[in-house]
Chains A and B, each alone.
Chain A
């Protein structure tokens, strides 16, 4: 199940690029730019999940998020107004799926 936001972010740009194959190639950073300001789920290699609104990120994959909720083993463990997550902590994935209900 994916939210309407997911569809916008992932499908809309590829529609535009259908005629020109080069434009169809969207880099990972294009994806990340598309999800700025959207609800995301950031999973660290430790297994901890951070769910919140993606404020910005940089080349080291440092991440700033707002209204962040921390989940360990699926349990809500804390909340942060703003939070900075250091890059190089082996983030496994960054997705915005299943958030139409949760956020």
Chain B
């Protein structure tokens, strides 16, 4: 089923041998990064390393927080968004990275 070095060919037709290859393919592309504490980033990937430290450009950060309404006890979910021109992200807060959707 697989080549002997256990790489597999993605639907986009590029050989991927290790998970970080997926990120290498996303350099200079806009990526979605899910971070701890309900933070999400969208930005252009300029650099990364094996710890997932990253440098993103034209970043939009969305912070989702939920508070409980004191009167009704209802959970209120609020989203705050801010834009940052260039951001270094420390890898240890990164949960998930997703490249832009490719049209195959």
Contacts and interface: CB of A to CB of B under 8 A. Distances in A.
Contact of B97 (A66, A81, A84): A84
Interface in A52-101: 55-58, 62-64, 66, 68, 80-86, 88-89
B95 A85 contact: yes
B94 interface: yes
A81 B102 contact: yes
A37 B97 contact: no
Contacts of A36: 2, 6, 8
A37 B92 CA distance: 27
B10 to A, nearest CB: 7
A37 B10 CA distance: 10
Given A44-B95, A82-B98, A85-B95, A62 B10 contact: no
A33 interface: yes
B16 interface: yes
Contacts of B23: 84
Interface string A36-57: 1100000010100010000111
Interface centre among B7, B21, B92, B96 (most CB of A within 10 A): B96
A84 B96 contact: yes
B99 A62 contact: no
A64 B94 contact: no
Nearest to B31: A84
Nearest to A63: B19
B19 A37 contact: no
Interface of A: 33, 36-37, 44, 46, 50, 55-58, 62-64, 66, 68, 80-86, 88-89
The 9 nearest A-B residue pairs measured at CB: A64-B19, A62-B19, A80-B98, A84-B97, A83-B98, A81-B101, A64-B22, A58-B18, A84-B22
